[in-house]
């Protein structure tokens, strides 16, 4: 908010995050960045963290995240046990791939953006598609292999 002269007016009722804490050890971005030392050449994109993030997405993404992003569902809203929003869409797709022996997974990138842990991966995909897509392919393959071992 600004006043009539264009000078910022402090909003004391806001619960929005600020940049007032300059201690780098408490940065959420640093904590989410992980401890990997392997990066895509010429970037600060961690191969290990992006790979782990994609595997988490494949196993844990639920349709409710997209419903929230599209404004069809309120964040924090409780869903009934059989609500379609609780379906783990990509886990089901991978299981179907295993059942039918298919090799193509159709990824809606808007789902990456809707799932909070993969928003950074969505941005990386936009900036470095030729590096991130093979990483995602490997994550799909690795996830399927690990599921086969656990059967």
- Give per-residue pLDDT as tens, 67-120: 999 988 888 888 888 888 888 999 999 999 888 888 889 999 999 999 999 999
Nearest C-alpha neighbor of 91 from the set 63, 121, 125 = 63
The torsion of the CA quartet 53, 55, 60, 63, rounded to 10 degrees, works out to: 80
CA angle 59, 46, 40 (to 5 degrees): 120
Structural domain includes residue 11:
no
Structural domain includes residue 9:
no
Structural domain includes residue 66:
yes
Structural domain includes residue 130:
yes
d(CA 44, CA 24): 17
Q: How far is CA 149 from the centre of its chain?
A: 25
Structural domain includes residue 13:
no
Domain membership of residue 128 as a residue range: 40-149
Residue 35, pLDDT above cutoff 60: no
Structural domain includes residue 61:
yes
Structural domain includes residue 18:
no
- Number of domains into which the chain is organized: 1
Structural domain includes residue 26:
no
The percentage of residues in the chain with a pLDDT greater than 70, rounded to a whole number, is 70
């Amino acid at each position: 908010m600004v006043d009539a002269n264009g000078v910022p007016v402090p909003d004391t009722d806001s619960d929005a995050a600020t940049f007032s804490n300059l201690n780098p050890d408490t940065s959420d971005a640093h904590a989410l960045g992980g401890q990997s030392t392997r990066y895509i050449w010429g970037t600060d994109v961690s191969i290990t963290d992006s790979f782990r993030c994609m595997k988490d997405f494949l196993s844990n993404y639920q349709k409710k995240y997209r419903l929230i992003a599209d404004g069809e569902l309120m964040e924090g809203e409780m869903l009934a046990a059989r609500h379609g929003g609780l379906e783990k869409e990509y886990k089901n797709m991978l299981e179907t791939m295993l059942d039918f022996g298919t090799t193509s997974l159709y990824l809606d990138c808007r789902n990456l953006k809707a799932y909070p842990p993969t928003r950074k991966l969505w941005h990386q995909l936009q900036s470095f598609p030729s590096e991130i897509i093979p990483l995602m392919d490997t994550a799909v393959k690795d996830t399927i292999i690990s599921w086969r071992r656990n059967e």
